[in-house]
Amino acid sequence: MAELRVINSGKKVLAAKDAAALTSQLVSGLEKIGLAMKSRTWRREGRAGLGPLQRQVLTLLRSKPDQRAQVSTVANELAVRLPTASEVIATLERKQLVRRRRDVSDGRVVMAQLTAKGNRACGPSSGMPDRLAMATSTLSALEQSVLLTSLVKVIRSLQDQGEISVARMCVSCQHFRPYQHPNADRPHHCEFINAPIGDRALRLDCQEYEPASNVQAKEAWEKFTGLHSV
Ligand code: SF4
């Protein structure tokens, strides 16, 4: 009996070591992707020569009413410092993708607004960042779906840690109803489009997103993660 306990405890220690090693490999892999996205080649050859943060600013402005937002809102929603947001917006203005204006109702407030050129640069017809799209398209349909749901969970955890302030994801949207349908391919429901959706259709940055209450978001998250299996 004592021998069995020692064997079981040894197995648990090994499993914990394996899990820690795997976590370390995943972090290392994500860091490599982050570094690659900052590389000069990637930035030069990426969509419209835009860096990742520049693209995020354009996408954020595109999602706003009148495609405009205060510079401080951009900083807050992208979890970057105000000087960083101001610098990126100034760069985008030099590229004629964004224009800055003082708010007519409060001259102290600076607004950034997408130009027509900026709208085209981040619109659906502009294509995705080429290399990243190419890399993810090498995955099978199942691998892509698993990666998407894994990203949802990683982003959600980073939000909880205060590293990402806003993510317009289904899992925290008031229109999201996880596991409403018996259909294994499309078990969730989006009230906005009033249709079932599958894991493959989960959004990370949806224009129709409306934040759920804390209670609704918590319940949806528990149901989503509780019933979700790979
Ligand atoms: S509105 Fe968008 S974010 Fe909300 S549930 Fe529907 S698809 Fe998801």
- Output the CA 155–ligand 1 centroid distance in Å: 16
- Output the CA 83–ligand 1 centroid distance in Å: 32
Residue 164 clears pLDDT 90, i.e. is over it: no
pTM, 2 dp: 0.71
Q: Smallest Cα–Cα separation from 114: which of 126, 105, 106? A: 126
CATH class of the domain at 48-126: mainly alpha
Long-range contacts of 61-69 (CB under 8 A, 24+ apart): 61/98, 61/112, 61/113, 61/114, 61/118, 62/114, 62/118, 62/119, 62/122, 62/123, 62/207, 63/168, 63/205, 63/207, 66/113, 67/113, 67/114, 67/119, 68/111, 68/112, 68/113, 68/114, 69/111, 69/112
Ligand 1 binding pocket includes 209 (Cβ within 6 Å): yes
pLDDT tens profile 111-159: 999 999 998 887 655 555 667 888 899 999 999 999 999 999 999 999 8
- Higher-confidence position of 106 and 38: 106
Ligand 1 binding pocket includes 212 (Cβ within 6 Å): no
Best mutation site among 166, 176, 189 for ligand 1, i.e. most ligand atoms within 8 A of its Cβ?
176
Distance in angstroms (rounded) separating the CA atoms of residues 110 and 197: 39
Overall average pLDDT of the 11-34 stretch? 85
- Output the CA 94–ligand 1 centroid distance in Å: 34
- Which pLDDT value is given to residue 41? 59
b/e 153-163 (16+ beta carbons within 10 angstroms → b): eebbeebeeee
Residue 227 clears pLDDT 60, i.e. is over it: yes
In this structure, the residue with its CA closest to atom 5 of ligand 1 is 176
Overall average pLDDT of the 194-205 stretch? 93
Ligand 1 binding pocket includes 203 (Cβ within 6 Å): yes
